[in-house]
Amino acid sequence: MADELYEAAKIDGSSEFGTFFRIALPLSGAIIVFIAVYVAECTWNAFFFVVMVITEKKLYTLQYILRAILIQNQEMNIINTSTMTNTDAIASLMRREYMAEGMKYSIIFIASLPMLIAYPFVQKYFVKGVMIGALKG
């Protein structure tokens, strides 16, 4: 099918660039959006790059900052429980652990929220890409 499209464009007098921009690029729009979404997701979730390369705080990614908050919260909750005899101290520790779990799940939600918001806007391109390659019959 693609050969016929390129041949028809050549007969109509289209140049190579014209054929590319008028035929090939619109047909590959779905895959371009698909790749762009995955590149954006990988960039959004960039964690190891920050750990290895970035030293300035203003350049830290959201995932790195959220992980630092989570680790800081966990370090505050580490207490030697073998010396605890006071029930109030144990109850306080259990409340902090419960809050730490809530914080962990909130951080996961916050980190994935932008991708969850962006997906419905690009979903039509995924459906369009599936329909272009489908057989009618």
Q: Three-state DSSP class for 77?
A: coil
Position with higher pLDDT, 83 vs 115: 115
Nearest CA among 41, 42, 61 for reference residue 50: 61
Least confident of 49-53, 82-86, 87-91, 118-122: 82-86
- Whether residue 108 has pLDDT greater than 60: yes
- Whether residue 76 has pLDDT greater than 70: no
Mean pLDDT along residues 62-69 = 81
Q: Which H/E stretch holds residue 97? A: helix 87-132
Mean pLDDT along residues 54-78 = 78
In the chain, % of residues over pLDDT 70:
81
Mean pLDDT along residues 25-51 = 80
Would you state the pLDDT for residue 132?
61
- Quick one: CA dihedral 97, 102, 106, 108, positive or negative? positive
Would you state the pLDDT for residue 137?
46
Q: Give the tens place of pLDDT for each residue, 6-37.
A: 778 788 888 888 888 887 887 787 788 878 88
The mean pLDDT value of the chain amounts to: 77
Euclidean distance between CA atoms 8 and 23, whole angstroms: 11
